[in-house]
Structure formats: C-alpha cells, structure tokens
Structure 1
Amino acid sequence: MKVFLLGGTKDSINIIKHLKSNFDAEILTTTTTEYGARLAREGGSDETIARPLLKDEIKRIFIDGNYDILIDATHPFASHITQTSVSISRELKIPYIRFERPTTNLENIDTSHIRYVNSFDDAGKLIEKEFPQGNVLHFAGANTMKDIVKYVSVDRFYPRILKVEKSIEKCEELDIDPSHIIPMTGAATKAENIELIEKYSAKVIITKESGEIGGVIEKIEAASDKDVAVVMIQRPKIEMLKKSDIVNDLKELSEKIKSF
C-alpha cells in the first residue's frame, strides 16, 4: 500500500508508526517545514517533502507515484490544505481519509474564563476592546501572530513558538522583541502555563481549539487558577468534508483503510 500523507502534526507521526506496524505501507509524508519532515523521517516515513505544495503539485505527485490512498493529518486549523485535499480526492476518485483529532471535552472543566471567536482577526479586536491592559500570551503559532498585533501592541505581546528560522523571521517582521519570544518544545503542562502567566504578568491567553493533544485543557486550567482570560479560536468548518471521511483515532483509521 502506497500512502500519500499530508502531515506536519504529532498525529501524523503516530499515524506513520501505526501504518508501519500494522500494514505493508510505503509512506510519503509532506510537511511545510524541514523540522516537520525530520520528525516524519524519524517516525519511519520512507520519503518526505518539506515545503508547501500547490494543488496541481499534489495531484501530479499522487498520480506519478501511483499512490493508493490520501491521508490528511494536517492541523485542524489548516483549512485550506484540507479543502484542497478533499477536492483532489473527488477529482481523482481516490480513497481519502481525514484524520482529525477530536474536539476538546470540556464537560468537567471550568470554562468561565473562555471567550470564543471565529478568527484571529476577531481575537485581536476582542482583546483591543475588552482587555486593553496587561500582557498577552500567544499560544497559537507564529503564522497567526500578524492578525493579533494589528490590534494589540507588540510591547505586551508574548508568543510561544518553535525556535525555527521561519518563525523567528515572522517575529522580526512584526518587530517583536526577542526577549518576548517563548521557546516551545511541545504541549506545556498546567504548571508550566501557570509559570508563564506569572513570569509575564499575563492577563490573556490566546489559543486554538486544537484538541487535547494540543494542550488546550492545561491552558484553560492554568488560566482558571490565575484568573486569566482565554480567547479561543474555534475550528474552521470545511464545507466539502463529509462525516464519513473523518476518523478520530488509529483504530478507526485501520478500519477505514480496510474498508476500501
């Protein structure tokens, strides 16, 4: 089985390991960064591509490589690539699976500090209007900073990012002081989040609704303990994506593959 995997997340590494352990799989993993590609190779991917791909490039690689299945394990907020991959699967009439981490179960969590918005632009506007004082911890990736600092001064903006070249360049373009950059090495614990809130005198945390694997619960609980607001960007909806395309765990992934 030849697998074309749209990756770049922790989920995609788990998928590579699972496919290698349970199927006779040859895997090509695409990511947008060399860092993501390195993790994919370490996870067992046979080949990697470390750059964003246009729709026609994906189609050509899929056809030329004679791949059997397209698995989309990109981030829940990478809506453009998911929309593109669904479109490709329909055009080429190929087996397609969207691996999507479940939304966060907040049933027993104090959610009183959460303010929900639909975009990062809306998040920036809300903070400008309702939280004009105090520092802001940005726990939502380097690619989303620009929409926030249109409304929030960089003097009180503290992003937690991967210390890779592209992310640092984005900070430089936005005139973010290097002393404000918080190195990220993975999802933080509740205690680590509390430490950051205290260290930077934060009044607001910005996060995506990226699922439990993204450390959302630990952010919410830390904010609740420290009486800090959480501005949470809700997941984008993909109109073309069918419920039957989606699996939420590795067991469901295996069952879906076997059904083709």
Structure 2
Amino acid sequence: MKVLVLAGTKDAGEIAVKLKSEDIEVIASVTTDYGRHLLSHIGGVCIHVGKLDKDGMIKLVREKEVMCIVDASHPYASQASENAIKASDECSIPYIRFERMEVGVCMDEAIRVKSFEEAAKRASSISGNIFLTVGSNNIHVFTKNIPDYKSRLYARVLPDSKVLLKCEEAGLMPDNIIALKGPFSKDMNVAMLKHCNASILVTKESGEAGGTLEKLEAAIELGVKVIIVDRPNVAYGTKVSEVNEVVEFLKRLRGV
C-alpha cells in the first residue's frame, strides 16, 4: 500500500515512521530542501521536493499508484490542502487531514484576526515595536501595511538562505531579522521580546508543537500585546489530531 504524505510539519516525520512500521510505503512531499532534511533520517521514504499544484499532485498520485493522501501540511498552508482534496477527488482515493490541536488561549486581551493583512493593519495601529513570528511567506504583507516597519518590525525566521532572501526582498534590513531555528522556550521568547523592546507579538495558532504556548506565556509575563492570526477555514472532511488515528484509518483502508 502506497501513501502520499504532505509533509509540512515535524509531525509528518512521526507519521512516516509509524506508517513504515506497519509496512505502508510512504511517499513524502516537501517544498524545500530543509523539509527534505527533516525527513532524511527515516530510511525507505521516497521524498519529492518542490511545490505541487493540483495537477502535479494528480500526476504524482497516478505515477506512484498512491492509494491515499495524508495531509500533514502546515495548518496555514490552505492552498496545499485544497489541492490535495481536489486531487483525491479526481483520483478517487481517500484523503485524511492530520492537524495538531490548537492551544487553548487564555488571554482575554488577545486580538484574534482572520488574515495576515488584518494582523498587519492592527499591529500598525498600535504604538511600539512588533515581534513577528509568522514565518517568512507573509513578511511582505507586513512591510506593505506598516509604513514605519524599518524602525519597529522584527521578524523571527528560519536561518535559511531562501528565507533570508524573502526578508530582504520584502524590505527588511539585517537589524530587523532574527534568524534562528526553534523550538524556543518561554525564557528564550522573553529574551527575544526584550531584545526587540517589543510591545506587540504577532503569531499564528500553530498548536503546542509549533511553540504557541511558550510565546503566549512570554508575552503575558512582559505585558506584551498579542495578535493571533486564526487558522484558515478549510473543509477538510476526515480530520484527526493523533498520529495513531492516521495509522488506524489506513489499516482499515487496507482491510487489516
């Protein structure tokens, strides 16, 4: 049995290991060389590197004779999920979404927004420095909507040359970029918020594995305002939050 795993989170590695232990053949799709690196320790996994649109996903499914798509892409990679859902429909194979649970946010004053553009505009309207922890794909949204971003916006991103290029193309200077790889403890987040003299933290609801809780705890300790970009609303269909649920779903599909 062959399964295509959209591997946009570190949970995808755990899923691949579990599936291999059940003699399920895994084809993992990642968008970057860094994504490939995260899976390189798992033997026997076929890794496809590069972004896949719907047609590319259909082609891969048919060429590899995939029997199911396991969507473990990032919670904010909605386009990838929508492409996978359409590809599974056209190829008449099952689709299952794995997504880690959201962190229960116990902050009455947290500002919840529906988009990165809304987050940028809200942050721009609040005085003080901004600590941005939403990844690199939407940096340009913030530099476009925050007129004085060069003097008050600090972005924490992965220390990857392509990511740094995105930051530079969006207009950020080296002083505005904190290039570090997590996970980050609460104390590390406190130190970085202090380093930036931040009054505002902008983050995504990436769940416990994404370090959301540690960021919120740091903000609470320092009295920093928090803007949270909610997850996209996608009609996933079958959705689970535990790796074992993925395994059980595929075992039933295989008739075990």
Which TM class, normalised by the smaller chain length? Answer: over 0.9
Tell me which residue corresponds to 2:34.
35
User: Is residue 124 of structure 1 aligned with residue 124 of structure 2?
Assistant: no
Evaluate the alpha carbon distance shift between residue 45 and residue 191 of structure 1 in structure 2; reply closer, same or farther with a 3 A threshold: farther
1:45 Cα deviation (Å)? 5.3
Q: 3-state SS of the aligned residue for 2:223? A: coil
Aligned to 1:259: 252
* Residue-by-residue CA offset, 1:50-79 (whole Å, 9 max, x unaligned): 211121111111111111221110001000
* Residue 131 of structure 2 is aligned to residue 137 of structure 1: yes
Q: Does the CA contact (< 8 Å) of 1:140 and 1:207 recur in 2?
A: yes
Q: How big is the shift at 1:94?
A: 0.3
- Encode CA deviations 1:92-129: one digit per residue, 9 max, x unaligned: 110211111111123xx4x0341100000000111122
Query: CA RMSD of the aligned region, Å?
Result: 1.3
Q: Go from structure 1 to structure 2 and tell me whether the alpha carbon gap of 1:186 and 1:45 turns closer, same or farther (over 3 Å shift).
A: farther
Gaps of 5+ in 2: none
CA separation of 1:45 and 1:140: change in aligned 2, threshold 3 A = farther
Determine if contact 2:27/2:45 at 8 Å carries over to the other structure: yes
2:73 aligned with 1:77: no
What are structure 1's unaligned runs of at least 5 residues? none
Q: Superposed, which structure 2 residues align to 1:177-192 within 5 Å?
A: 177-192=173-188
How far apart in 1 are the matches of 2:104 and 2:245? 19
Question: 1:101 & 1:74 partners in 2: Cα distance?
Answer: 11
Provide the residue aligned with 1:163 in structure 2.
Answer: 159
After superposition, what is the alpha-carbon deviation per residue over 1:202-249, rounded to whole angstroms, capped at 9, x for unaligned?
A: 01111111111111111111101100011100011113x22xx11111
Match of residue 243 from structure 2: 250
Moved over 3 A (4+): none
Name the SS for the 2:132 alignment partner.
strand
User: Which residue of 1 is the match for residue 88 of structure 2?
Assistant: 89
**C-alpha contact (below 8 Å) 1:113/1:223 kept by paired residues:** no
Name the TM-score, length of structure 1 as normaliser. Answer: 0.92
Paired AA for residue 70 in structure 2: I
Say if 2:14 is the partner of 1:14: yes
Structure 1 residue 43: deviation in Å? 3.1
CA distance in 2, matches of 1:166, 1:45: 28
In structure 1, what is the Cα distance between the partners aligned to 2:28 and 2:150? 36
2 CA distance for matches of 1:135 and 1:74? 31
1:145-198 CA-to-partner distances (Å, cap 9, x unmatched) read 111111221321111111112111111112211122112212311100000111
Q: CA deviation at 1:91?
A: 1.7
Q: Provide the rounded CA distance (Å) in 2 between the counterparts of 1:175 and 1:27.
A: 40
Distance of 1:219 and 1:103 partners within structure 2: 14
Note if contact 1:41-1:47 (Cα within 8 Å) is conserved in structure 2. no
| 1:118 and 1:236 in contact (8 A); partners too | yes
Q: 1:214 aligns with which of 204, 207, 210?
A: 210
Structure 1 CA distance for aligned equivalents of residues 191 and 4 of structure 2:
40
> TM-score w.r.t. structure 2 length?
0.94
Provide the aligned length of Structure 1 versus Structure 2.
251
Equivalent-residue separation in structure 2 for 1:82 and 1:54 (angstroms): 10
Mapped to 2, the partners of 1:55 and 1:205 lie a distance apart of 35
